[in-house]
Amino acid sequence: MLTRILQCSPKGLCLKQSGRMRHHVPTSVVLTQLLAEAPPDHVNLAWLIGHLQQRSFGLVMLLLALVSLLPGAGILAGVLLGFPAVQMILGRESPSLPRFLASWRISTRHIAGLAARAVPLLERMEALVHPRLPTPFEVTKRLIGFIVLLLAATFVSPVPFSQIIPALVIVLISFAYLEEDGVLLCISLVAALVSLSVTAATIWATLRATGLIEKP
Protein backbone atom coordinates (compact mmCIF):
# COMPACT_ATOMS: atom_id res chain seq x y z
CA MET A 1 0.00 0.00 0.00
CA LEU A 2 1.51 3.32 -1.10
CA THR A 3 1.69 6.20 1.38
CA ARG A 4 2.01 9.70 -0.05
CA ILE A 5 3.81 12.29 2.07
CA LEU A 6 2.81 15.92 1.73
CA GLN A 7 4.21 18.93 3.60
CA CYS A 8 1.47 20.08 5.97
CA SER A 9 3.18 22.61 8.22
CA PRO A 10 6.65 23.44 9.57
CA LYS A 11 5.86 21.22 12.57
CA GLY A 12 4.41 18.19 10.83
CA LEU A 13 3.65 16.16 7.75
CA CYS A 14 0.37 15.21 6.21
CA LEU A 15 0.24 11.55 5.31
CA LYS A 16 -2.22 10.41 2.68
CA GLN A 17 -3.12 6.75 2.97
CA SER A 18 -6.16 4.94 1.61
CA GLY A 19 -7.58 8.25 0.40
CA ARG A 20 -7.53 9.81 3.89
CA MET A 21 -5.32 12.56 5.28
CA ARG A 22 -3.77 12.40 8.71
CA HIS A 23 -1.36 14.80 10.36
CA HIS A 24 2.00 13.47 11.52
CA VAL A 25 3.48 15.47 14.39
CA PRO A 26 7.22 15.01 15.04
CA THR A 27 8.18 13.22 18.24
CA SER A 28 10.12 16.22 19.56
CA VAL A 29 6.96 18.35 19.37
CA VAL A 30 4.91 15.66 21.14
CA LEU A 31 7.46 15.43 23.97
CA THR A 32 7.62 19.22 24.35
CA GLN A 33 3.82 19.46 24.56
CA LEU A 34 3.74 16.56 27.01
CA LEU A 35 6.19 18.26 29.37
CA ALA A 36 4.26 21.52 29.13
CA GLU A 37 1.16 19.71 30.41
CA ALA A 38 2.97 17.66 33.08
CA PRO A 39 2.26 18.28 36.80
CA PRO A 40 5.07 20.24 38.49
CA ASP A 41 6.17 17.56 41.00
CA HIS A 42 5.83 14.12 39.40
CA VAL A 43 4.04 12.06 36.76
CA ASN A 44 3.06 8.41 36.71
CA LEU A 45 2.84 5.91 33.87
CA ALA A 46 -0.97 6.03 33.82
CA TRP A 47 -0.80 9.78 33.19
CA LEU A 48 1.73 9.29 30.39
CA ILE A 49 -0.30 6.58 28.65
CA GLY A 50 -3.50 8.60 28.95
CA HIS A 51 -1.91 11.64 27.30
CA LEU A 52 -0.01 9.80 24.56
CA GLN A 53 -3.05 8.06 23.01
CA GLN A 54 -2.11 6.48 19.64
CA ARG A 55 1.59 7.07 20.23
CA SER A 56 1.57 5.48 23.66
CA PHE A 57 3.56 2.35 22.76
CA GLY A 58 6.38 4.18 21.02
CA LEU A 59 6.70 7.02 23.50
CA VAL A 60 6.39 4.80 26.58
CA MET A 61 9.24 2.65 25.23
CA LEU A 62 11.25 5.75 24.36
CA LEU A 63 10.79 7.32 27.80
CA LEU A 64 11.50 4.08 29.68
CA ALA A 65 14.64 3.52 27.61
CA LEU A 66 15.81 7.03 28.53
CA VAL A 67 14.92 6.46 32.19
CA SER A 68 16.99 3.26 32.17
CA LEU A 69 20.06 5.40 31.55
CA LEU A 70 19.65 7.00 35.00
CA PRO A 71 21.88 5.52 37.73
CA GLY A 72 20.22 2.51 39.39
CA ALA A 73 17.12 2.57 37.14
CA GLY A 74 18.17 -0.07 34.61
CA ILE A 75 16.60 -3.20 36.08
CA LEU A 76 13.30 -1.52 36.99
CA ALA A 77 13.03 0.12 33.56
CA GLY A 78 13.76 -3.25 31.95
CA VAL A 79 10.90 -4.87 33.87
CA LEU A 80 8.54 -2.03 32.93
CA LEU A 81 9.56 -2.27 29.26
CA GLY A 82 8.44 -5.88 29.27
CA PHE A 83 4.78 -4.89 29.70
CA PRO A 84 4.34 -2.78 26.53
CA ALA A 85 6.58 -5.20 24.62
CA VAL A 86 4.38 -8.22 25.44
CA GLN A 87 1.22 -6.25 24.65
CA MET A 88 2.64 -5.23 21.27
CA ILE A 89 3.29 -8.90 20.55
CA LEU A 90 -0.34 -9.62 21.47
CA GLY A 91 -1.54 -6.85 19.12
CA ARG A 92 -3.06 -4.55 21.75
CA GLU A 93 -4.04 -1.05 20.62
CA SER A 94 -2.45 0.69 23.63
CA PRO A 95 -0.45 -0.46 26.65
CA SER A 96 -2.10 -1.21 29.97
CA LEU A 97 -0.20 -1.75 33.20
CA PRO A 98 -1.03 -3.28 36.58
CA ARG A 99 -2.18 -0.66 39.07
CA PHE A 100 1.01 -0.74 41.13
CA LEU A 101 3.06 -0.07 37.99
CA ALA A 102 0.66 2.45 36.49
CA SER A 103 0.95 4.50 39.69
CA TRP A 104 4.77 4.37 39.67
CA ARG A 105 5.93 7.97 40.09
CA ILE A 106 8.66 9.60 38.03
CA SER A 107 10.04 12.97 39.04
CA THR A 108 8.98 15.63 36.54
CA ARG A 109 12.36 17.30 37.13
CA HIS A 110 14.19 14.14 36.04
CA ILE A 111 11.95 13.72 32.99
CA ALA A 112 12.46 17.38 32.08
CA GLY A 113 16.22 16.95 32.40
CA LEU A 114 16.20 13.95 30.08
CA ALA A 115 13.92 15.73 27.63
CA ALA A 116 16.14 18.82 27.64
CA ARG A 117 18.94 16.65 26.29
CA ALA A 118 16.77 14.40 24.12
CA VAL A 119 14.57 16.97 22.33
CA PRO A 120 17.42 18.87 20.59
CA LEU A 121 18.86 15.52 19.45
CA LEU A 122 15.44 14.39 18.20
CA GLU A 123 15.00 17.65 16.31
CA ARG A 124 18.31 17.11 14.52
CA MET A 125 17.37 13.50 13.77
CA GLU A 126 13.97 14.55 12.44
CA ALA A 127 15.73 16.48 9.70
CA LEU A 128 16.76 13.08 8.30
CA VAL A 129 14.10 10.75 9.75
CA HIS A 130 10.63 10.92 8.29
CA PRO A 131 7.81 8.59 7.20
CA ARG A 132 9.08 6.34 4.40
CA LEU A 133 9.22 2.70 3.32
CA PRO A 134 5.81 1.77 4.79
CA THR A 135 5.61 -1.62 6.52
CA PRO A 136 2.55 -3.71 7.54
CA PHE A 137 1.47 -2.09 10.82
CA GLU A 138 0.41 -5.16 12.83
CA VAL A 139 3.36 -7.31 11.75
CA THR A 140 5.76 -4.46 12.46
CA LYS A 141 4.28 -3.83 15.90
CA ARG A 142 4.54 -7.50 16.90
CA LEU A 143 8.12 -7.75 15.63
CA ILE A 144 9.16 -4.61 17.51
CA GLY A 145 7.53 -5.92 20.67
CA PHE A 146 9.49 -9.17 20.42
CA ILE A 147 12.84 -7.43 19.83
CA VAL A 148 12.25 -4.89 22.62
CA LEU A 149 11.34 -7.72 25.01
CA LEU A 150 14.66 -9.44 24.28
CA LEU A 151 16.59 -6.19 24.69
CA ALA A 152 14.80 -5.35 27.95
CA ALA A 153 15.74 -8.77 29.32
CA THR A 154 19.42 -7.89 28.91
CA PHE A 155 19.01 -5.01 31.40
CA VAL A 156 19.42 -7.54 34.23
CA SER A 157 22.88 -8.55 33.00
CA PRO A 158 25.43 -8.84 35.84
CA VAL A 159 27.87 -6.66 33.88
CA PRO A 160 27.78 -3.03 35.15
CA PHE A 161 26.27 -0.47 32.74
CA SER A 162 25.50 -3.24 30.27
CA GLN A 163 22.01 -1.77 29.71
CA ILE A 164 23.38 1.36 28.02
CA ILE A 165 23.79 -0.08 24.50
CA PRO A 166 20.44 -1.98 24.41
CA ALA A 167 18.72 1.09 25.88
CA LEU A 168 20.09 3.27 23.09
CA VAL A 169 18.98 0.66 20.54
CA ILE A 170 15.46 0.74 22.02
CA VAL A 171 15.55 4.54 21.68
CA LEU A 172 16.32 4.13 17.96
CA ILE A 173 13.61 1.47 17.49
CA SER A 174 11.04 3.60 19.32
CA PHE A 175 11.96 6.67 17.28
CA ALA A 176 11.70 4.75 14.00
CA TYR A 177 8.30 3.38 15.09
CA LEU A 178 7.05 6.83 16.10
CA GLU A 179 8.26 8.52 12.92
CA GLU A 180 7.07 5.60 10.74
CA ASP A 181 10.50 5.40 9.14
CA GLY A 182 10.97 1.93 7.69
CA VAL A 183 14.58 2.60 6.72
CA LEU A 184 15.63 3.58 10.26
CA LEU A 185 13.60 0.67 11.63
CA CYS A 186 15.58 -1.82 9.52
CA ILE A 187 18.85 -0.26 10.68
CA SER A 188 17.65 -0.34 14.30
CA LEU A 189 16.69 -4.00 14.10
CA VAL A 190 20.14 -4.89 12.78
CA ALA A 191 21.65 -2.89 15.67
CA ALA A 192 19.40 -4.83 18.06
CA LEU A 193 20.71 -8.17 16.77
CA VAL A 194 24.29 -6.92 17.20
CA SER A 195 23.51 -5.70 20.73
CA LEU A 196 21.93 -9.02 21.70
CA SER A 197 24.90 -10.94 20.30
CA VAL A 198 27.41 -8.76 22.18
CA THR A 199 25.44 -9.09 25.43
CA ALA A 200 25.19 -12.86 25.09
CA ALA A 201 28.93 -13.15 24.40
CA THR A 202 29.77 -10.86 27.34
CA ILE A 203 27.59 -12.82 29.78
CA TRP A 204 29.05 -16.11 28.55
CA ALA A 205 32.61 -14.83 28.99
CA THR A 206 31.80 -13.46 32.46
CA LEU A 207 30.28 -16.76 33.60
CA ARG A 208 33.27 -18.71 32.33
CA ALA A 209 35.71 -16.29 33.99
CA THR A 210 33.95 -16.70 37.35
CA GLY A 211 33.99 -20.47 37.07
CA LEU A 212 30.19 -20.84 36.95
CA ILE A 213 30.61 -22.56 33.61
CA GLU A 214 33.47 -25.01 33.29
CA LYS A 215 35.80 -24.64 30.38
CA PRO A 216 35.86 -27.65 28.04
What is the C-alpha to C-alpha distance for residues 81 and 65, in angstroms, rounded to an integer? 8
Q: What pLDDT score was predicted for residue 216?
A: 57
Q: Which positions of the chain have pLDDT values less than 50? A: 1-22
Q: Taking Cα atoms as reference points, which of 48, 37, 54, 173 lies closest to residue 101?
A: 48
How far, rounded to the nearest angstrom, does the alpha carbon of residue 21 sit from its chain's CA centroid?
26
Q: What pLDDT score was predicted for residue 162?
A: 74
Q: Which residues face 6 on adjacent strands?
A: 14
Q: What pLDDT score was predicted for residue 102?
A: 75
131 contacts 179 by C-beta, under 8 angstroms: yes
The domain limits of the chain are 26-209
Q: What pLDDT score was predicted for residue 194?
A: 92
Q: What is the 3-class SS of 33-74, one letter each residue?
A: HHHHHCCCCEEEHHHHHHHHHHHHHHHHHHHHHHHCCCCCCH
